[in-house]
Amino acid sequence: MRDALGIVLPQVGDDSDLHELLGHRTIGTLPFGSRYRLIDFSLSNLVNSGITKVGIIGSHKYSSIIDHLGTGKEWLLSRKTNDLAILTGSVNRRIHDRNKINMLDFILNKGYFEQSNADTVVMAASNLVTTYDFNKPNEVFEKNKADVVLIYRIDNETFHTLPNDVFLTLDGRRVSDLSYAENNKTDYKFVDMILIKRDVLLKIIDIAERNETYDLMEILKDNLDTLKVYAYKHEGYINRITDLEKYYKANMDLLHYDVLSELFFTDQPVYTKTKDNHPTQYGKNACIEDCIVGSGGYIDGKIEHSVVFRENELDEGSEVKNSILMQKCKIGKNCKLNYVIFDKEVTVRDNTELIGTEDNPIIMKKGETI
């Protein structure tokens, strides 16, 4: 797909119960799975599909995106040659609850799309956890000379329905109608990935500017009689992180070998910002059961059914269960932690006990001490 342009779409998360973890970052740069960020999945999927130019639509929290992506070399891209571009984001929230893909983001970056030589634009949201090859729907795109291909799957629990979710009505593989969650007619839910002809996208940008209609899906719905809109079913694991429950569950899903192997043990690697650390050291009291533990740490306590990021320290006599500990947390002696989510650089003093529940984990913000 070297004739395609990839776009990573921004997602709103500040107004969900994730806001305590998003004070200094976008939802796309939320740490995940002991060493990754959520945006790594969509960005890697685009690159692994042969797309060599990618634009990341930013938000008002640009610093977290720029810090994580750097020059782009880990994703085989380069910001110096504009293979990886950080694009202007319009606002930090949707125009209204039902707005799905904000056309203001495209209006502001119209020149970027006009200057591109790509025939096709491939878009994916920044909060999707999945390994996906866009060459598969591209076959449908090319075979049917489609204007648009929407990726969907049968509605299931990994995608909690939101007010702006879009459902497809199909006539074979052709999309005959689009409906929002409040009026959904089928179980075919659009999963925030789309292929669209660049010249069609430019025409839609003009329509959005002229009519002040700022939802791409509304414009597609109004033009289904003139546009050739097709659908392609997503197979395999996918999770969309929209709230704390989904974030916690997606991390815990990695403790299941079938999910872990589908996401990471394939010929489509998930690229991320690299860090040269020594392996985590384990003291004589260390006991690790059903966990993922990042590098560079020191563990001398017990960790069970948890995801632990890089450079964490756990002193003797302490126990961590059912928890997520981001980078550089320090846990003192004889602490008991169960159902907690710690942002980076949290410090827990000796003899501290924090017990949450699966439905209501205890969250500690970046740099807090207790």
User: Closest Cα to residue 20, out of 255, 324, 313?
Assistant: 324
SS (H, E, C) 26-87: CHHHCEECCCEECHHHHHHHHHHCCCCCEEEECCCCHHHHHHHHCCCHHHCCCCCCCCEEEE
% pLDDT > 70, the chain: 96
Note whether 312 and 294 are within 8 A (CB).
yes
Kindly tell me the number of DSSP H helices and DSSP E strands found in the chain.
9, 26
Q: For 220-240, what is each residue's pLDDT tens digit?
A: 999 999 999 999 999 999 999
Instruction: Please say if the pLDDT value at position 94 is more than 50.
Output: no
Average pLDDT on 311-330 reads 98
Instruction: Please say if the pLDDT value at position 72 is more than 70.
Output: yes
Instruction: Return the pLDDT at 220.
Output: 97
More confident residue, 220 or 93: 220
Instruction: Please say if the pLDDT value at position 80 is more than 80.
Output: no
**Both structure tokens of 164:** 């702006």
Average pLDDT on 145-156 reads 92
Note whether 311 and 277 are within 8 A (CB).
yes
Query: Given pLDDT bands bounded at 50, 70 and 90, which one contains residue 158?
Result: low
User: Closest Cα to residue 166, out of 98, 243, 242?
Assistant: 98
Instruction: Return the pLDDT at 168.
Output: 96
| 259: three-class secondary structure by DSSP | helix
Q: For 335-358, what is each residue's pLDDT tens digit?
A: 999 999 999 999 999 999 999 999
**Both structure tokens of 212:** 């002040």
| 134: three-class secondary structure by DSSP | coil
Domain ranges of the chain: 4-264, 281-364
Q: What is the b/e burial string over 92-114, where b = at least 16 CB atoms within 10 angstroms of the residue's CB?
A: eebeeebbbbbbbbbebbeebbe
Lowest mean pLDDT among 66-75, 106-115, 132-141, 288-297: 66-75
Q: What is the b/e burial string over 318-330, where b = at least 16 CB atoms within 10 angstroms of the residue's CB?
A: bbbbbbbbbbbbb
Cα–Cα dist 18/69, whole Å = 22
Instruction: Please say if the pLDDT value at position 93 is more than 50.
Output: no
Note whether 309 and 251 are within 8 A (CB).
no
More confident residue, 160 or 328: 328
Note whether 343 and 323 are within 8 A (CB).
no
Query: What is the CA angle 48-51-56, rounded to 5?
Result: 100
Rounded to whole angstroms, what are the CA distances from 273 to 255, 278, 293?
A: 22, 16, 17
Question: Which residues lie across from 189 on neighbouring strands?
Answer: 153, 167
Query: Given pLDDT bands bounded at 50, 70 and 90, which one contains residue 98?
Result: low
Note whether 303 and 320 are within 8 A (CB).
yes
Average pLDDT on 242-253 reads 95
Rounded to whole angstroms, what are the CA distances from 2 to 46, 82, 195, 337?
A: 10, 15, 14, 48
Rounded to whole angstroms, what are the CA distances from 171 to 189, 228, 246?
A: 15, 12, 32
Instruction: Please say if the pLDDT value at position 13 is more than 80.
Output: no
Q: Quick one: fold of 4-264?
A: Spore Coat Polysaccharide Biosynthesis Protein SpsA; Chain A (3.90.550)
More confident residue, 90 or 221: 221
Query: Given pLDDT bands bounded at 50, 70 and 90, which one contains residue 364?
Result: very high
Query: Given pLDDT bands bounded at 50, 70 and 90, which one contains residue 79?
Result: confident
Cα–Cα dist 47/107, whole Å = 25
Cα–Cα dist 301/336, whole Å = 10
More confident residue, 254 or 100: 254
The CATH code of the domain at 281-364 is 2.160.10.10
Q: How many CB atoms lie within 10 A of CB 202?
A: 16
